[in-house]
């Protein structure tokens, strides 16, 4: 899908004029259409449009040294603190737009957003603390692996240690089993099966 939008919408739109404004308009158009591809509802179009808005800083600052190489390479004096802030910001913005994507309508997504409550005390009780501790330890371990291995081909590509593929796949399947075990017991329909 992404290559189709790139080849038949994005690139033809840019052939006439490769200015920053045209790249922004092209990004907004393509991502709005990607949203429409996900579902025939305005909330999907708005979701795609917001994804396009989140790309605008990249278009404007692409020529700066900060964006010339990937953050993983740590070239051009990009600090680890700045990379961490970018990762957190990207995650939060993408997660926030998930409200719009997941809702059945724009009105419902607006209700979700306006009724956000960040008081987690009612969800954390003494009986849930051991489960939450295990979950946070698991998340912290995964984030550490991702952070320290970001220059490698994959998370288990350690310098000086060549793990055979069956061992790597055993580890991956082990992590998958942990996700299934701690992922919750409620049956939820896969999102795309709703269409």
pLDDT of residue 103: 85
In which band, very low, low, confident or very high, does the pLDDT at 114 lie, cut at 50, 70 and 90? confident
Average pLDDT over residues 106-125: 74
Per the document, the length of the chain is 195
Whether pLDDT at 145 is above 60: yes
Global confidence as pTM: 0.62
The pLDDT mean for the chain works out to 76
Structure confidence by residue, pLDDT tens digits, 5-51: 888 788 887 777 778 888 888 889 999 999 888 888 898 999 999 99
Residue with tokens 């004029």: 17
DSSP tag of 175 = H
DSSP 22-88: HHHHHHHHHHHHHHHHH-SSHHHHHHHHHHHHHHHHHHHHTTSGGGTS-GGGT-TT--HHHHHHHHH
């Amino acid at each position: 899908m992404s290559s189709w939008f790139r080849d038949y919408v994005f690139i033809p739109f840019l052939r006439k004029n490769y200015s920053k404004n045209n790249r922004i308009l092209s990004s907004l158009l393509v991502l709005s259409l990607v949203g429409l591809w996900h579902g025939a509802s305005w909330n999907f179009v708005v979701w795609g449009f917001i994804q396009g808005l989140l790309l605008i800083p990249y278009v404007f600052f692409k020529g700066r040294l900060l964006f010339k190489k990937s953050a993983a390479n740590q070239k051009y004096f990009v600090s680890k603190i700045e990379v961490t802030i970018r990762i957190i910001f990207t995650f939060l913005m993408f997660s926030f737009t998930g409200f719009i994507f997941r809702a059945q309508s724009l009105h419902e997504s607006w209700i979700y957003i306006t009724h956000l409550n960040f008081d987690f005390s009612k969800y954390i009780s003494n009986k849930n603390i051991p489960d939450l501790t295990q979950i946070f330890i698991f998340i912290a371990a995964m984030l550490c692996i991702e952070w320290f291995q970001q220059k490698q081909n994959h998370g288990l590509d350690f310098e000086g240690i060549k793990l055979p593929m069956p061992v790597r796949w055993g580890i991956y399947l082990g992590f998958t089993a942990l996700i299934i075990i701690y992922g919750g017991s409620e049956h939820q329909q896969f999102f795309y099966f709703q269409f």
